[in-house]
Protein backbone atom coordinates (compact mmCIF):
# COMPACT_ATOMS: atom_id res chain seq x y z
CA UNK A 1 0.00 0.00 0.00
CA UNK A 2 2.94 2.36 0.61
CA UNK A 3 4.03 2.04 -3.01
CA UNK A 4 0.50 2.75 -4.22
CA UNK A 5 0.26 5.85 -1.99
CA UNK A 6 3.53 7.30 -3.29
CA UNK A 7 2.64 6.52 -6.92
CA UNK A 8 -0.67 8.32 -6.42
CA UNK A 9 1.29 11.34 -5.12
CA UNK A 10 3.35 11.24 -8.31
CA UNK A 11 0.24 11.14 -10.46
CA UNK A 12 -1.37 14.04 -8.57
CA UNK A 13 1.85 15.98 -9.24
CA UNK A 14 1.31 15.54 -12.99
CA UNK A 15 3.88 12.82 -13.63
CA UNK A 16 3.83 11.23 -17.08
CA UNK A 17 6.60 8.76 -16.19
CA UNK A 18 6.79 6.90 -12.87
CA UNK A 19 9.65 4.52 -12.05
CA UNK A 20 9.24 1.98 -9.27
CA UNK A 21 12.40 0.16 -8.24
CA UNK A 22 12.63 -2.52 -5.55
CA UNK A 23 16.04 -3.86 -4.51
CA UNK A 24 16.34 -6.83 -2.16
CA UNK A 25 19.93 -7.38 -1.02
CA UNK A 26 20.42 -10.11 1.59
CA UNK A 27 24.19 -9.60 1.74
CA UNK A 28 23.63 -5.99 2.84
CA UNK A 29 20.47 -6.95 4.79
CA UNK A 30 18.65 -4.21 2.91
CA UNK A 31 15.34 -3.72 1.12
CA UNK A 32 15.09 -0.50 -0.86
CA UNK A 33 11.95 0.93 -2.41
CA UNK A 34 12.51 3.83 -4.78
CA UNK A 35 9.81 5.75 -6.63
CA UNK A 36 10.89 8.41 -9.07
CA UNK A 37 8.68 10.66 -11.17
CA UNK A 38 8.82 13.56 -13.60
CA UNK A 39 6.00 15.45 -11.89
CA UNK A 40 6.03 19.10 -10.85
CA UNK A 41 8.44 18.47 -7.96
CA UNK A 42 8.64 20.31 -4.65
CA UNK A 43 10.74 23.14 -3.31
CA UNK A 44 13.02 22.57 -0.31
CA UNK A 45 10.46 23.94 2.15
CA UNK A 46 7.72 21.58 0.91
CA UNK A 47 10.09 18.58 1.03
CA UNK A 48 10.78 19.35 4.71
CA UNK A 49 7.03 19.52 5.46
CA UNK A 50 6.19 16.40 3.41
CA UNK A 51 6.91 14.05 6.33
CA UNK A 52 4.50 15.90 8.62
CA UNK A 53 1.22 13.91 8.71
CA UNK A 54 -0.75 17.15 9.17
CA UNK A 55 0.67 18.71 6.00
CA UNK A 56 -0.85 18.14 2.59
CA UNK A 57 -1.15 20.09 -0.64
CA UNK A 58 -4.52 18.45 -1.28
CA UNK A 59 -7.66 20.46 -0.64
CA UNK A 60 -10.11 17.62 -0.05
CA UNK A 61 -8.54 16.55 3.26
CA UNK A 62 -6.22 18.05 5.86
CA UNK A 63 -3.75 15.22 6.34
CA UNK A 64 -1.23 13.53 4.08
CA UNK A 65 -0.26 10.18 5.52
CA UNK A 66 1.48 8.41 2.60
CA UNK A 67 5.02 9.69 3.13
CA UNK A 68 4.89 9.84 6.95
CA UNK A 69 3.63 6.24 7.16
CA UNK A 70 6.31 5.02 4.74
CA UNK A 71 8.99 6.88 6.73
CA UNK A 72 7.70 5.35 9.98
CA UNK A 73 7.67 1.85 8.46
CA UNK A 74 11.27 2.27 7.30
CA UNK A 75 12.47 3.72 10.61
CA UNK A 76 10.76 0.97 12.60
CA UNK A 77 13.18 -1.49 10.95
CA UNK A 78 16.27 0.68 11.52
CA UNK A 79 16.03 2.12 8.02
CA UNK A 80 15.30 5.57 6.69
CA UNK A 81 13.48 7.57 4.04
CA UNK A 82 15.02 10.21 1.78
CA UNK A 83 13.23 12.60 -0.56
CA UNK A 84 14.94 14.45 -3.41
CA UNK A 85 12.76 16.89 -5.30
CA UNK A 86 13.21 19.95 -7.44
CA UNK A 87 10.47 22.18 -8.85
CA UNK A 88 9.82 21.36 -12.48
CA UNK A 89 12.03 18.26 -12.38
CA UNK A 90 10.16 15.69 -10.32
CA UNK A 91 10.62 13.78 -7.10
CA UNK A 92 12.47 10.70 -5.92
CA UNK A 93 11.39 8.94 -2.74
CA UNK A 94 13.77 6.27 -1.47
CA UNK A 95 12.98 4.12 1.57
CA UNK A 96 15.56 1.77 3.06
CA UNK A 97 14.51 -1.09 5.33
CA UNK A 98 16.61 -3.54 7.34
CA UNK A 99 15.50 -6.76 5.68
CA UNK A 100 15.94 -9.09 8.67
CA UNK A 101 14.21 -6.79 11.16
CA UNK A 102 11.17 -8.31 12.85
CA UNK A 103 9.11 -5.17 12.14
CA UNK A 104 9.63 -5.30 8.36
CA UNK A 105 6.19 -5.27 6.78
CA UNK A 106 5.53 -7.62 3.85
CA UNK A 107 6.19 -6.04 0.46
CA UNK A 108 2.80 -7.10 -0.79
CA UNK A 109 1.75 -8.16 -4.27
CA UNK A 110 3.77 -5.91 -6.56
CA UNK A 111 2.33 -7.54 -9.70
CA UNK A 112 -1.20 -6.58 -8.60
CA UNK A 113 -0.04 -3.09 -7.62
CA UNK A 114 1.66 -2.38 -10.95
CA UNK A 115 -1.19 -3.89 -12.98
CA UNK A 116 -3.68 -1.76 -11.06
CA UNK A 117 -1.87 1.54 -11.66
CA UNK A 118 -1.43 0.70 -15.35
CA UNK A 119 -5.14 -0.11 -15.66
CA UNK A 120 -6.18 3.10 -13.91
CA UNK A 121 -3.63 5.40 -15.59
CA UNK A 122 -3.01 4.17 -19.15
CA UNK A 123 -1.73 7.61 -20.19
CA UNK A 124 1.26 7.32 -17.84
CA UNK A 125 4.43 5.37 -18.61
CA UNK A 126 5.39 3.07 -15.75
CA UNK A 127 8.78 1.45 -15.36
CA UNK A 128 8.94 -1.27 -12.74
CA UNK A 129 12.20 -2.98 -11.89
CA UNK A 130 12.84 -5.46 -9.15
CA UNK A 131 16.30 -6.69 -8.18
CA UNK A 132 16.67 -9.71 -5.95
CA UNK A 133 20.28 -10.40 -5.08
CA UNK A 134 21.92 -10.24 -8.54
CA UNK A 135 18.85 -11.09 -10.64
CA UNK A 136 16.70 -8.33 -12.14
CA UNK A 137 13.25 -8.14 -13.67
CA UNK A 138 12.07 -5.07 -15.61
CA UNK A 139 8.71 -4.08 -17.01
CA UNK A 140 8.17 -0.92 -19.06
CA UNK A 141 4.74 0.12 -20.31
CA UNK A 142 6.29 2.24 -23.07
CA UNK A 143 7.68 -0.95 -24.67
CA UNK A 144 4.35 -2.75 -24.26
CA UNK A 145 2.42 0.19 -25.78
CA UNK A 146 4.66 0.09 -28.88
CA UNK A 147 3.87 -3.58 -29.45
CA UNK A 148 0.16 -3.12 -28.79
CA UNK A 149 -0.15 -0.38 -31.42
CA UNK A 150 -3.90 0.40 -31.47
CA UNK A 151 -4.91 -1.84 -28.57
CA UNK A 152 -5.24 0.16 -25.32
CA UNK A 153 -2.86 -0.92 -22.56
CA UNK A 154 -5.75 -0.95 -20.09
CA UNK A 155 -7.75 -3.47 -22.12
CA UNK A 156 -8.75 -6.21 -19.63
CA UNK A 157 -6.91 -8.90 -21.62
CA UNK A 158 -3.74 -6.80 -21.68
CA UNK A 159 -3.96 -6.11 -17.94
CA UNK A 160 -4.37 -9.84 -17.34
CA UNK A 161 -1.27 -10.50 -19.47
CA UNK A 162 0.68 -7.77 -17.59
CA UNK A 163 -0.27 -9.32 -14.25
CA UNK A 164 0.85 -12.79 -15.36
CA UNK A 165 4.04 -11.42 -16.99
CA UNK A 166 5.11 -9.60 -13.83
CA UNK A 167 4.24 -12.55 -11.57
CA UNK A 168 6.32 -14.86 -13.78
CA UNK A 169 9.24 -12.41 -13.87
CA UNK A 170 9.24 -12.06 -10.08
CA UNK A 171 9.06 -15.83 -9.71
CA UNK A 172 12.11 -16.20 -11.98
CA UNK A 173 14.28 -13.75 -10.02
CA UNK A 174 13.24 -15.49 -6.81
CA UNK A 175 14.68 -18.73 -8.14
CA UNK A 176 11.30 -20.33 -8.85
CA UNK A 177 10.58 -22.24 -12.02
Integer angstrom CA distances of residue 155 from 4, 144, 162, 168: 21, 12, 10, 20
Please tell me the total count of domains within the chain: 1
Per the CB < 8 A criterion, the answer to whether 95 and 3 are in contact is no
- What CATH number did the domain enclosing 116 receive? 3.30.565.10
> Does the pLDDT of residue 60 top 90, yes or no?
no
Rounded Cα distance between 131 and 134, Å, is 7
> Does the pLDDT of residue 16 top 80, yes or no?
yes
What domain range is 59 assigned to?
2-173
- The pLDDT of residue 61 is 45
> Does the pLDDT of residue 34 top 90, yes or no?
yes
- pLDDT (tens digit, 9 = 90+) per residue, 85-116? 999 999 999 999 999 999 999 999 999 999 99
Amino acid sequence: MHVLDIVENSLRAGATVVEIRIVEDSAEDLLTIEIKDNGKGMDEETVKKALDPFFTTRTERRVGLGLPLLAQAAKSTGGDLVIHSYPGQGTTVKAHFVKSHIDLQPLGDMAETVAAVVALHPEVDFIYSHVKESREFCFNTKEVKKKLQEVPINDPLVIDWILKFIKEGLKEISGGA
